[in-house]
Amino acid sequence: MKKVLVIFHLYYKDQLPYFLDKLSHIHGCDWDLCVTGPSFDPESQASLRAFKSDVSLITCENVGYDIWPFLHALQVTGTDAYDLVLKLHTKSNTGDHKIRIGGVHLREYMWRDTLVDALLQDRERWEEVLNIFESRPDAGMVCSRKLYCKLNFKEDHALLDEELSRIGLQTQERRFCVGTMMILRADLFKALPLAEFRAEQFPRESASNSGGTIAHIYERILSLLAPAQGFQVYTTGSDAAFERKQKIRRFTKPLLDFLFSIDRKGEDGAKYLTILGISIRL
């Protein structure tokens, strides 16, 4: 039976009932729950302990959004006792503002729900996730099919490659789970220099989504741990409508990129403007 460590960052406390409902779908494994947050009010503590009496609560600063709390939890708990690590966190409501990621339009709580439901939509989905690791020895990570996307030209490839090289990892993979909710083999985290990380290295909340920060880089590196160590990434949570859209995009994107596109190419990640098939280095 698999031993699973669930690390859940609780920042928006009003979302706790939603996540406890999703976590109730975990079965068929031995699992521990570790909850991080800047503080825990009595009501939240009572709800968590009523749900899982042996829950571990770790108070830490809400810096680097969910990245520093996750890394800090790994520092505290370690991974030696576990087969898998599931990463979850609360995510803000985007309201009526539509966010487009990988061809998917998201609003309100759709970003959060898409990530979570790929792993914990119901008991059957959780069984599917566990079965991937049971039946496929090459499986290193499982996340949302809809939000496992290619890094676009805005991302700083040079800084990412520099940090990967510094910690001794290398991969040509350039996709990551946008939103960083995923489940990975626990052994993969041994490649991270966990002892090095400190809260002060991470930007305050207002700046943590900007490029070039350690939080920005490790959002990507967490998804690259599997391919960089010879494992595959498997995805779940797709549907017929999404697959139809993806098929259309596969045919139309090359043409659109030929007509006009901006992308990074080459080992140095240089930015290129392409117009009518002619690429110009910027």
Which structure tokens are listed for 270?
Answer: 């240089």
* 122-146: average pLDDT: 97
Is the pLDDT score of 106 beyond 60?
yes
Radius of gyration of the chain (CA): 19
DSSP element (H, E) containing 10: none
Apex CA 109: angle with CA 102 and CA 51, to 5°? 120
Residue 137 pLDDT: 96
**CATH pick for 3-238 out of 3.60.15.10, 3.90.550.10, 3.90.950.20, 3.90.650.10:** 3.90.550.10
The answer to whether the beta carbons of residues 91 and 115 sit under 8 Å apart is yes
Q: What percent of the chain has pLDDT over 70?
A: 80
Reported pTM: 0.84
Residue 6 pLDDT: 98
Handedness of CA 28, 131, 88, 71 (dihedral sign): positive
Query: Which of these ranges, 112-116, 136-140, 146-150, 249-253, has the smallest mean pLDDT?
Result: 249-253
Is the pLDDT score of 258 beyond 60?
no
* Contacts of 75 by beta carbon, 8 Å cutoff, 6+ apart: 194, 195, 197
* Angstrom distance (rounded) from CA 224 to CA 227: 6
Which structure tokens are listed for 224?
Answer: 């690259």
Residue 207 pLDDT: 43
What burial class does residue 81 get, using C-beta atoms within 10 Å of its C-beta: 0-12 exposed, 13-18 middle, 19+ buried? exposed
How many CB atoms lie under 10 A from the CB of residue 278? 9
| Tens digits of residue pLDDT in 37-58 | 999 999 999 999 999 999 999 9
* Contacts of 96 by beta carbon, 8 Å cutoff, 6+ apart: 107, 108
* 116-127: average pLDDT: 97
* Angstrom distance (rounded) from CA 146 to CA 246: 10
Residues in the chain: 282
* Angstrom distance (rounded) from CA 171 to CA 130: 25
**pLDDT bucket at 208, cuts 50 / 70 / 90:** very low
- Cite the residue boundaries of each domain of the chain with CATH code 3.90.550.10: 3-238
Q: Comparing C-alpha atoms, which of 168, 8, 185 is closest to residue 79?
A: 185
Residue 62 pLDDT: 87
Give bridge partners of residue 4 from the DSSP assignment. 31, 84
Residue 243 pLDDT: 47
Is the pLDDT score of 70 beyond 80?
yes
Mean pLDDT of the residues in the chain? 86
Residue 172 pLDDT: 87
Residue 141 pLDDT: 98
Give 74 or 271, the one with higher predicted confidence. Answer: 74
